Amino acid sequence: MVHLTQSDSCNISGVIPTDHPSDLAVEYPIVEIFHSVQGEGYHAGIPHVFIRFGTCNLRCEWCDTDFLTFETKNTIDILGEVLKFDCKRVIFTGGEPMLHDLWPLHRLLKARGYNLSVETNGTIPVPEGLIDWVCVSPKDQMYPNVRLEQRRGDELKCVYVGQDLSMYEELQQGFKHIFLQPCYMETESVEWNGKNFAETESIVKQNPSWRLSLQTHKWMGVD
Ligand code: SF4
């Protein structure tokens, strides 16, 4: 890991003169930062740097992220890790990234030419101008009492657990790309997951305004 300090700002290219000092001291709960190929949704197949934040305001049964195990890192350390990779696309994911004030990271990364995406459960609004690509993965099929606040964006990605897709009719209008994804559970058998895949494929054939999204990174055994 590359550790930069504010005192290094004159001679290390990671920190630039336009960086605001208060942005460099902000801390976030970070599960992991890694470079991988996006495995699902509209940007599947495109390399990104993933910043996985700790904590979430929901508890989905299929969640595969240990979002309660994290380190507190400041933006200088986060920036140092991101800069190690030859990749100008960053995805904020989680946990639920919108639980945190992402503006300091936004300013530091945009100043270096990064394209920013977020994957959010949509329960917290995404401020205008914060993110270049907003992907909302609503969980209201599991939590009917949780209000979806972010109802517009670039990509709507729903995990299919047998819900009636008519529940998304109004919501679809706010998004450019609409994906349905089989529920994949690592703890279940190949047959169990295969059945979910077949059901989701069948639903997409009957509802062609939806596109099938597969978590190809899971099948490949990568992050
Ligand atoms: S909203 Fe996402 S991160 Fe939070 S529990 Fe559900 S799947 Fe996990």
pLDDT in tens, 74-116: 999 999 999 999 999 999 999 999 999 999 999 999 999 999 9
Question: How many angstroms separate the alpha carbon of residue 44 from the centre of ligand 1?
Answer: 20
190 falls within a domain = yes
Predicted local distance difference test score (pLDDT) of residue 3: 44
In this predicted model, which residue has the larger pLDDT, 126 or 8? 126
60 falls within a domain = yes
Which ligand 1 atom lies nearest to the CA of residue 64? 8
160 falls within a domain = yes
3-state SS class at 14: coil
Q: Which of 32, 35, 55, 63 is catalytic?
A: 63
40 falls within a domain = yes
- pLDDT bracket for residue 11 (50, 70, 90): very low
Query: Residue range 46-72: average pLDDT?
Result: 93
CB of 60 closer than 6 angstroms to any ligand 1 atom:
yes
201 is catalytic: no
pLDDT in tens, 152-183: 999 999 999 888 999 999 999 999 999 999 98
Predicted local distance difference test score (pLDDT) of residue 220: 64
221 falls within a domain = no
68 falls within a domain = yes
Predicted local distance difference test score (pLDDT) of residue 143: 77
Pocket test for ligand 1, best of 69, 119, 139, 160 (most atoms within 8 A of CB): 139
Q: Which of 8, 34, 60, 87 is catalytic?
A: 60
Rounded to the nearest 5 degrees, what angle is found at the Cα of 90, between the Cα atoms of 2 and 200?
135
Task: Give whole-number Cα distances, 27 to 5, 83, 88, 101, 105, in Å.
Answer: 14, 18, 22, 10, 10
* Protein residue with least CA distance to atom 3, ligand 1: 95
223 falls within a domain = no
How many structural domains compose the chain? 1
217 is catalytic: yes
47 falls within a domain = yes
Q: Report the predicted TM-score, pTM, of the whole model to 2 decimal places.
A: 0.89
| Domain membership of residue 38 as a residue range | 6-216
CATH number of the domain that 26 lies in? 3.20.20.70
Burial group, residue 196, by CB count within 10 angstroms (0-12, 13-18, 19+): buried
